[in-house]
Structure 1
Amino acid sequence: MINLQPYTNPAYFILLIGTLLPAMIGLYFGKRLKVYEAIWTFSFLLITFGGIKWHQGIALAAYIIFQQLLVQIYKAYRKRHNSTAMFLSMIILSIFPLVIVKLAPIFPSSQLSLFGFLGISYLTFKTVQVLMELRDGTIKEIRVRDFVRFLLFFPTVSSGPIDRFKRFQADEQQVLSRDAYLVMVDRGVQYIFKGFVYKFILGYFFGTWLLPRIAHVALLERHAFFGTGLSLHLVEYMYVYSMYLFFDFAGYSLFAIGISYFLGIKTPENFNAPFRSHNIKDFWNRWHMSLSFWFRDFVFMRVTFFIMKKRLIKNRIRVSQVAYLLNFLIMGFWHGVTWYYIVYGLFHATAIIINDYWLRYKKAHPNLIKHNMFTEGIAIFLTFNTVCFSFLIFSGFLNTLWFK
């Protein structure tokens, strides 16, 4: 039987692409078959969230109706009023289902997990984005069907990348010329084959084959170095887990982008050689970019603007530092309400603040360090190891090593 979780095995792709052929043929001949695409989306949602996961399907349906009501209510309200209290109420209500799901592990005996379904985080990001852009006036009108299609665009519904409504809408409403569409299909094929190498070869090697072996040895050595568990195998685990995390998630993202291209939708890139970053800020411009840019635009910039508008902090450097701390703290809590996710977020906030100090110091002393291949290599090496250490925290392995 085919595993019906998105992008989990080659057989899934045969079913996915085989059923997409009519829509692709339509686009080849210059016509978007919206009804067929809607049926195709509904069918895959049904097989993904149906069967033994029927409760996820019900949660998804209720969630879509709830978020749709929020958007339509706020859209109608925004045409006549500009109340900050109303806006904040809509944002809080929008993220409330996600908060419930994230708190569910803290209360294992509760039924909070019944509110969850695969992809709830990414759908919440999309809804909050729409609400904020309605507030800003960059979105003037949004129809029910357009909002639902944006949320439930199946290639990205479970784990992104996170698109923007106006960009998605522009692609969805146009039909490319035959030559332009064939170029997209060609690129889509390239993305999918690269994704296969990343996820099913490299991701499998690092995550399924190598990682458990190193973890086993590292756990056997948990009493090493005065009971801290620090050992060479823990360092190996750090690097192997980092490779696994990248290749598995980047491979998944490449699949989503490739399938999107088959539908004539240019879903944004999610990774851009992140391990070649020259500093931690550069890393966040390359790693999980759709999420990173979402947090930049809708958390960091909003917090910065609010602090400056209310004149809560006069020093601009302190403003950005507070915004970084809140930004990455929220990102940490989004991953989960556990110490290692929260520490992971605070670690990156601290790293970026330190990096900003260093960049300002270099700017004030232009002759301090000459840029060349050697200094560039050192910068990449330091950034890479900083990132890998943060992924060791993120993995939760230290929790297993120290507390179990």
Structure 2
Amino acid sequence: MAFSDLRYLLVLGIVTLIVHAIPQGAPRLLATTFISLLFYVSLNPGTWYVLVAVATLAYFSGLVLSRVPEGRARGMLFAALLTATLLPLLFFKYAATAYHLLPPDGDLAVRWSTMANIILPIGISFYSFLAAGYVIDVFVGSQPAERNAIRFGAVMFFFPHLTAGPIERARHLLPQLGNLGVFNYERAVTGLRAILTGLFLKIVVADTLAPYVDAVYSAPRNHGAVDLALATIYFSFQVYADFAGYSLIAIGSARLLGIELTINFMQPWLSQNLPDYWRRWHISLSSWFRDYVFMPLQFQARRWGKYGLAGALVFTFVLVGIWHGAGFNFAVFGLIHGALVAFSTLTFARRDRFWRSRVPRPVLLVLRATTTFLIVTLTFILFRASGLREALWIYKALFTGAEGVRTVALTKPLIAIAAVIAYDLLVTWAKDAKPFPVWLRWSGYYAAVACIVSAMIQHVSQASSNVQQFIYFKF
């Protein structure tokens, strides 16, 4: 069941009580692993074996690498084991694209493509990167090989992060296993608060915006420039509220069980430039690529100075784009972001001196945040469109002012967007402020619950499901 399904809250409560009641140590770890696998099988009964296979391969890869002495043979063995760990991800996620490169008259290729699209395992990108990161860490020596299979399984199968992240590191979770099932009042309170916030972002904001976005992007050629622009802006806020909402529910669920997951979003729409945006957006993904792809590339290309830096950034972001999907639109998405991040990184100091001397700071902050938002939103067309050709048509329609009948509403979406902006500003302000009074906090909690219930009722009355699949489930 989806995290935004209210039945999940009941299951989470029962699981929390069970985990806390079981004796600490191996019994509690085994129980958590079994419950997590059961949860995953209920979501993805056809391909659960892929998760088990990836986890098993990563576990034994760590053991093997820890026993092989330094040398060329160890490097070759590492490359083979890392490739094997990522092979299920490469097959299930990119087999369909490989089919398009084959002759169109092969029945086997058609069946292969169909199979790859139908049985894509939920969360394969997330748990594959956890496994790959562990293998890399063991190889470079930043993480000792975990010899206890129960402990390793508890990390790999831990259900809050399993289906859509955050992309965790074994070295972050393994030391926390001693806290599994240990009650801490403050951690539990912040966990419940994170779950409530996540449900608000998902149900009140993302699920409210989704029908307007889907209506336009399902048939973009039937809409004019105004509808396309509104739907594109709505999508930016939808994908943020959807994924940030999921991440908060995952973080809150883990906290109830004693585990602290990685913070995945830090108010990205307040970013001052694209590098700042990627430090705030999908932090677990961008930091994974930073540590395991960009930094090694930059080190190898250091003799080329700024050109090496730019090349490493562009290559890394192309991989980030391809991680999201196998279409050329995703590769172009990554290429554009890589080029713009490289340009911003290399020219920021000069541009900052120029604008600071001419524009008041408050105005400059707003202008930079607005510009960053518009750039990211325009590139999200490549992310949301069904393919590169459709994305190019949408760009043309937007910039030529294509005419069409106005169908996209304003009132409800703008209220949902205002709620997101208010949330981000409130969180930013609260970081440097004293805690809010108790009466104000509880008023906010009750208001959030009321908004969630009201939104769910409206979704049902409009004959739409009140439990929509999270966008990142397909990644």
In structure 1, the partner of 2:299 is 305
Relative to structure 1, the CA distance from residue 396 to residue 25 in structure 2 (aligned partners, 3 Å threshold; closer, same or farther) is same
What SS is found at the alignment partner of 1:272?
Answer: coil
TM-score, L = length of structure 2: 0.73
Residue correspondence of structure 1 range 87-98 to structure 2 within 5 A: 87-98=78-89
1:149 aligned to 150, 154, 158, which one? 154
CA distance in 2, matches of 1:126, 1:216: 34
The structure showing larger relative contact order (alpha-carbon pairs under 8 Å, at least 6 residues apart) is: 2
RMSD over aligned CA atoms reads 2.7
2:37 aligned to 36, 39, 45, which one? 45
What SS is found at the alignment partner of 2:92?
Answer: helix
Q: How many percent of aligned residue pairs carry the same amino acid?
A: 22
CA distance in 1, matches of 2:334, 2:249: 27
Relative to structure 1, the CA distance from residue 17 to residue 79 in structure 2 (aligned partners, 3 Å threshold; closer, same or farther) is farther
Deviation at 1:341, TM superposition (A): 0.7
What SS is found at the alignment partner of 2:46?
Answer: helix
Asked whether the equivalents of residues 92 and 116 of structure 2 are also in contact (C-alpha less than 8 Å), the reply is yes
Asked whether the equivalents of residues 85 and 131 of structure 2 are also in contact (C-alpha less than 8 Å), the reply is yes
Deviations 1:69-93 (A, max 9, x none): 3222222225787743222222222
User: Residue 395 in 1 paired to residue 384 in 2?
Assistant: yes
- Residue range with higher mean Cα deviation, 128-137 or 341-350: 128-137
5+ residue gaps, structure 2, are 100-109, 395-475
Relative to structure 1, the CA distance from residue 32 to residue 162 in structure 2 (aligned partners, 3 Å threshold; closer, same or farther) is farther
Relative to structure 1, the CA distance from residue 320 to residue 401 in structure 2 (aligned partners, 3 Å threshold; closer, same or farther) is closer
5+ residue gaps, structure 1, are 225-230, 309-313
Asked whether the equivalents of residues 78 and 135 of structure 1 are also in contact (C-alpha less than 8 Å), the reply is no
Asked whether the equivalents of residues 58 and 132 of structure 2 are also in contact (C-alpha less than 8 Å), the reply is no
Residue 254 of structure 1 aligns with an amino acid whose one-letter code is L
1:169 aligned to 170, 174, 180, which one? 174
In structure 1, the partner of 2:458 is none
In structure 2, the partner of 1:320 is 309
CA distance in 2, matches of 1:187, 1:370: 39
User: Residue 137 in 1 paired to residue 141 in 2?
Assistant: yes
- Residue range with higher mean Cα deviation, 364-373 or 143-152: 364-373
In structure 2, the partner of 1:228 is none
Relative to structure 1, the CA distance from residue 365 to residue 172 in structure 2 (aligned partners, 3 Å threshold; closer, same or farther) is same
Deviation at 1:112, TM superposition (A): 4.5
1:257 aligned to 236, 247, 251, which one? 251
1:77 aligned to 68, 71, 74, which one? 68
In structure 1, the partner of 2:436 is none
Asked whether the equivalents of residues 59 and 146 of structure 2 are also in contact (C-alpha less than 8 Å), the reply is no
CA distance in 1, matches of 2:42, 2:123: 15
Residue 196 of structure 2 aligns with an amino acid whose one-letter code is F
CA distance in 2, matches of 1:196, 1:345: 30
Give the length in aligned residue pairs: 379
1:293 aligned to 275, 282, 287, which one? 287
1:204 aligned to 204, 207, 232, which one? 207
1:121 aligned to 118, 125, 130, which one? 125
Asked whether the equivalents of residues 62 and 145 of structure 2 are also in contact (C-alpha less than 8 Å), the reply is no
Relative to structure 1, the CA distance from residue 42 to residue 213 in structure 2 (aligned partners, 3 Å threshold; closer, same or farther) is same
Deviation at 1:357, TM superposition (A): 3.4
TM-score, L = length of structure 1: 0.85
In structure 1, the partner of 2:164 is 159
Relative to structure 1, the CA distance from residue 175 to residue 121 in structure 2 (aligned partners, 3 Å threshold; closer, same or farther) is closer
Deviation at 1:260, TM superposition (A): 0.5
What SS is found at the alignment partner of 1:140?
Answer: coil
